[in-house]
Structure 1
Amino acid sequence: MHVTFEDAQKAVEAALTKARATGTQMCIAIVDSGAELKAFARMDDAWVGSVDIAIKKAKTACFFAMPTGQIGALSQPGGPLYGIEHSNGGLITFPGGVPIVNRDGVLIGAIGVSGSSVENDHLVATAGSEAIGVSALPDHPWRT
Structure 2
Amino acid sequence: MKTKSVLESADVKTIAAAAEAEALKNQWAVAIAIVDDGGHLLHFQRLDGAAALTSHIAPAKAHTAALARKETKVYEDIINGGRTAFLTAPFVEGLLEGGVPIMKDGFCIGAVGVSGVKSPEDAQIAKAGIAAIGL
Is TM (by shorter chain) over 0.5?
A: yes
> Match for residue 97 of structure 2?
95
Instruction: Give the drift of 1:84.
Output: 3.1
Could you list the runs of 5+ residues in structure 1 that have no partner in the other structure? 135-144
Equivalenced residue count is: 131
Between the aligned partners of 2:63 and 2:85, the Cα distance in structure 1 is: 17
TM-score normalized by structure 1?
Answer: 0.82
Q: Output the aligned Cα RMSD.
A: 1.7
Between the aligned partners of 2:88 and 2:9, the Cα distance in structure 1 is: 30
User: Which residues of 2 match residues 105-116 of structure 1 at below 5 A?
Assistant: 105-116=106-117
TM-score normalized by structure 2?
Answer: 0.87
Aligned residue among 63, 67, 84 for 2:67 = 63
Q: Identity of counterpart residues, as a percentage?
A: 34
Q: Secondary structure at the match of 2:110?
A: strand
Instruction: Give the drift of 1:78.
Output: 4.4
Instruction: Give the drift of 1:89.
Output: 3.8
Between the aligned partners of 2:87 and 2:62, the Cα distance in structure 1 is: 13
Could you list the runs of 5+ residues in structure 2 that have no partner in the other structure? none
> Match for residue 131 of structure 1?
132
Tell me, yes or no, if the aligned pair for 1:100 and 1:108 is still in contact at 8 Å.
Answer: yes
